[in-house]
Chains A and B, each alone.
Chain A
Amino acid sequence: MTEENADAIIRMFHVHKRYGAKFALKDLSLDIYKNEYLFVTGRSGAGKTTLLRLLYLGEEVSEGQVLVDGLNLSRIARNRIPQLRRKFGIIFQDYKLIPTKTVFENVALVLEVAGRKPSLIAKKVKSVLRMVGMEDRIDAYPQSLSGGEQQRVAVARAAAGDPKIILADEPTGSLDEESADVIMSFLDTFHSRGATIIIATHDKELLERGHARIIQLRDGQLWSTETV
């Protein structure tokens, strides 16, 4: 293992993912390093979302191996999957907020599942909601929020548990410029605190921000890698 590899927080070896006869990912090998800022890009259907889902075991690989922070996902016991998922803060393309819970409760959920104390949860949730400019909507329900606001809440939830890795699937895809800026500067803040940021996107403006590695997928295969 090289020195570079010793810093890898995620390692993928010859990963294949098939849905029936169709390959979503094909022979993908990739190292992602601690505190790296990585963009995964490619056209729709290139395998970006599948790649992210494999990391938190939203899907299982068909072939190959994935290691996340020392955990081999092919051999992980079912009861250790929650522990794996708590390493991630995940921002889903469709937000995935619970409609019957308030903004506060949605964000607090991440801390509750980790068994944090209620006093700490209240403090932390208010703090992250303030960072994304949603402290005034703490008691609102998701359906009363705009798309941009819902995404901000989703971002706050992803960061609330101070995860080692933040995964974001098209985090600015359907947002106005202001909301997109808030979310990206929030992710920058967490990156500066040591988190690894992995963003799947085909938003060219994001890719041009610099200080990141960009990998491009095409038909499920690693097509190119560049650092900007």
Chain B
Amino acid sequence: MQRFYRRAIKDILENRFLTAITVVTIALSILIAAAFALFFVNAGDMLNLWQKGMRMMVYLKASTSEAERLDTKFRLQGIAGVQEAVYISKDEALTRLKEQMQHHSALLENLKENPLPDSFEITLQPSARNSEELRFLAERIQALPGVAEVEYGQQWIQRFTHIINLFSLAGYAIGALFFMATLFIVANTIRLVLYSRRDEIEIMRLVGATDRFIKIPFYLEGMIQGGAGTVIGLGLLYAGYSALALHFAPGLAGGMIQLRFFSVGASAAAILGGTLIGWLGCWVSLKQFMK
């Protein structure tokens, strides 16, 4: 096997220009595809964080009696997905509002009566924190007799989820496109090398070389190019990520949201993937060439 590695390295050095073009192309493809993936990872983290802190507000009808309020609380606590239901009277709600609007409190001073309704603040169980579950839960709560309105920022959550889904689709499409492009480029580079060395391959065959003996160095070459391109692509992405994280991370949700790069395992998997693309490109070329 050592001699195959030596031959592969020698071939790479002899075809420096072609190899460099392949490695750079793979690096750029990986850089773009991995940038998308990194965006999804961090956007997903952000969405999870927001969903964890999510509350649902249940506003009661103005005419709700004390007995109906207790009944509503009892019923709320019995609904799957509700972790806790805390009653907030209209007076308490007004006090909170005044605290939040300290600089505009004059606006509230002139009110003849408290316009806010009694409400329940509901903390959700983790299983109920996705868009579909939230909608289902809100519909059930809305159907309770004393409930006037349920609010949980549904439109905002749905919009954000849709955007993430859209980006995911675009990411998959771009990923597939770059996969094909990389495969095509590796295959063509290897094909050029094969054509430039067809006399040598013919001589090797004439002196009794097996297809395996001829092919293995080319496979190694493709794998080295794929792996090196991926390492360079990820390296560039990491450099870009580090620069961006340094400038923007402190401003994200007051520093509550931590940006992160791919884990060591995910990076290793990406390098393995790049290596496999190199192998596959080689396989495609050799399959046609060695017929």
Contacts and interface: CB of A to CB of B under 8 A. Distances in A.
A109 interface: yes
Contacts of B205: 82, 85
A154 to B, nearest CB: 10
A109 B203 CA distance: 10
Interface residues of B, number: 14
Contact of A82 (B3, B199, B203, B209): B209
A1 to B, nearest CB: 28
A109 B3 contact: no
A113 interface: yes
Q: Is chain B's binding surface mostly helix, strand, loop or mixed?
A: helix
A118 B213 CA distance: 15
A114 to B, nearest CB: 7
A7 interface: no
A100 B3 contact: no
Contacts of A118: 3
Nearest to B201: A98
Nearest to A85: B208
A113 B3 contact: no
Contact of A109 (B14, B204, B210, B211): B204
Contacts of A168: none
A79 B3 CA distance: 22
B200 A113 contact: no
Contact of B206 (A79, A83, A96, A114): A96
Contact of B207 (A79, A83, A90): A90
A82 B213 CA distance: 10
Taking residues whose C-beta sits less than 8 angstroms from the other chain, chain A's interface range is: 20 to 34
Contacts of A85: 205-208
B208 A96 contact: no
A56 B3 contact: no
Interface in B196-227: 199-200, 203-211, 213
A85 to B, nearest CB: 4
A197 interface: no
Contacts of B204: 109, 113
Given A98-B203, A100-B14, A100-B200, A83 B208 contact: yes
A96 B209 contact: no
A46 B199 CA distance: 26
Interface in A73-123: 79, 82-83, 85-86, 90, 92, 96-98, 100, 109-110, 112-114, 118
Interface in B33-54: none
A43 to B, nearest CB: 26
Interface of A: 56, 58, 79, 82-83, 85-86, 90, 92, 96-98, 100, 109-110, 112-114, 118, 157, 161
18 contacts: A79-B210, A82-B205, A82-B210, A83-B208, A90-B207, A96-B199, A97-B203, A98-B199, A100-B14, A109-B203, A109-B209, A113-B204, A113-B207, A113-B208, A113-B209, A113-B210, A113-B213, A161-B208
Given A100-B14, A109-B207, A113-B213, 12 more contacts: A79-B210, A83-B208, A90-B206, A96-B199, A96-B203, A96-B206, A98-B199, A100-B200, A113-B208, A113-B209, A157-B207, A161-B208
10 closest cross-chain pairs (CB), A and B: A86-B208, A85-B208, A113-B209, A82-B210, A82-B208, A98-B200, A110-B207, A113-B208, A96-B203, A113-B213
